[in-house]
Structure 1
């Protein structure tokens, strides 16, 4: 039997799918970022929680906070390279969606862009904001 090790409180990696958050910026242009922290947090009302690093200048975070609406898109296994690029590049420097060849349409329930190349999307409205650290 292996010995258990106490890791003490710290940030840990948990299996979680990468998702793409998309929102319109102040000019109405679609922007997006890759998130490692996203999970369901309520059945009634249906709700998800996301974490975006707020310690750096993040264009998509700014857009989500200003608009109060966004879309989460779940990438497929064949979209790993595009998802990685969207997570690394800055929307202030490059049109990430155009660069990877993704297209968007306006969501039906919220004022945010849906990435057409995503098979599963969730249209979201900001309900609550909690600042708890870097993410």
Structure 2
């Protein structure tokens, strides 16, 4: 073993997959790229996500308490990175990147037609937002596109490189402690 830079520890535990977060404030939808999120609970389904106050989407999420998490697949990797490299303050990202907003069922933020899955969310806990930028979201409706054949997602390594999902290994018969997850 050798020393590792503590400022780079995040690269060792990057969550997965890279997602797109849509918000809508004052009738204006926006999209941001996010890789810092985590599942927190099964029922109700809770998702923790970190969004910096410096991100344009922060203000909309904080004000409306609603968003959609779109899960892109490998065919959208470059576009997803490009979305993260500009601000919705300056660019209409739906128009700029040729993305299709669809009406959500329970929130005002739009679904992303190009994503294979979308999760409508409402903020249920803001207690760690000021200190950490951590919003706790409750998933209130989820969608998948059965026509979307590609299902491989991609994960950030934290240094501009990504890992693409690959081989699946079925160990369901060993999942005895949490059978409700199967």
TM-score, with length taken from structure 2? 0.65
Q: Residue in 2 aligned with 1:12?
A: 10
Q: Deviations over 1:37-56 (max 9, x none)?
A: 111111121111111122x2
Give distance in 2, aligned partners of 1:84 and 1:122: 20
Q: Of 81, 87, 92, which residue of structure 2 is paired with 1:84?
A: 81
Q: Of 59, 63, 80, which residue of structure 2 is paired with 1:62?
A: 59
The unaligned stretches of length 5 or more in structure 2 are 135-182
Q: Of 97, 100, 104, which residue of structure 1 is paired with 2:101?
A: 104
Residues 124 and 134 from structure 1, CA distance in 2 versus in 1: closer, same or farther, beyond 3 angstroms? closer
8 Å Cα contact 2:50-2:132 kept in structure 1:
no
- 2:24 aligned with 1:24: yes
- Larger of the two Rg values belongs to structure: 2
Structure number with the bigger relative contact order (C-alpha 8 A, sep ≥ 6) is 1
Q: Residue in 2 aligned with 1:38?
A: 37
Q: Secondary structure, in 3 states, of the residue corresponding to 2:60?
A: helix
Size of the aligned set, in residue pairs, is: 130
Greater share of residues in strand: 2
Q: Residue in 1 aligned with 2:51?
A: 52
Which aligned segments of 4 or more residues in structure 1 are displaced greater than 6 angstroms? none
TM-score, with length taken from structure 1? 0.86
RMSD (Å) for aligned C-alpha atoms? 2.0
